[in-house]
Structure 1
């Protein structure tokens, strides 16, 4: 996970926490967090990178909508990240 950008890590967290894991729902959640527009040209290439790295599975809801879900590896990477963060920050 250390080779991911902060945006890609945020994508993993959002995908893990959403009930509806499709592009527009992910985009909306990130825009709420970042308080700015997330362009499709930023979102979808980064989602594809996570798929290529084996952290996210990409499925098809219909002809225009893809679904995204964490793989087991993606979940393990998030858990390892959380453990690492907890070594330094105890909230």
Structure 2
């Protein structure tokens, strides 16, 4: 996960916390954290990066709507990140 941007990592977390969200649902989820609207030109290339890195799986709900699902590798990366963070942040 060390090669992901913070935005990509946040997208990964949103996808992991949802049940096969559409791109629009991922956008809405991440916008709850970020101030301001996330445009499609930023969202979809970053989602494609997660798919290309085998962290997220992409499927089709219908002709116009794709869904995203966390892949096993994505879950492993999140767990490794949490273990690393816990060395430095105890809440």
TM-score bracket for the superposition, by shorter chain length: over 0.9
Structure 1: any 5+ residue segments left out of the alignment? none
1:72 aligns with 2:75: no
- 2: distance between equivalents of 1:79 and 1:32? 23
CA RMSD of aligned residues (A): 0.8
- 1: distance between equivalents of 2:19 and 2:69? 10
Number of matched residues? 91
Structure 2: any 5+ residue segments left out of the alignment? none
TM-score, scaled relative to structure 2:
0.96
The 4+ residue runs of structure 1 with deviation greater than 2 A are: none
TM-score, scaled relative to structure 1:
0.96
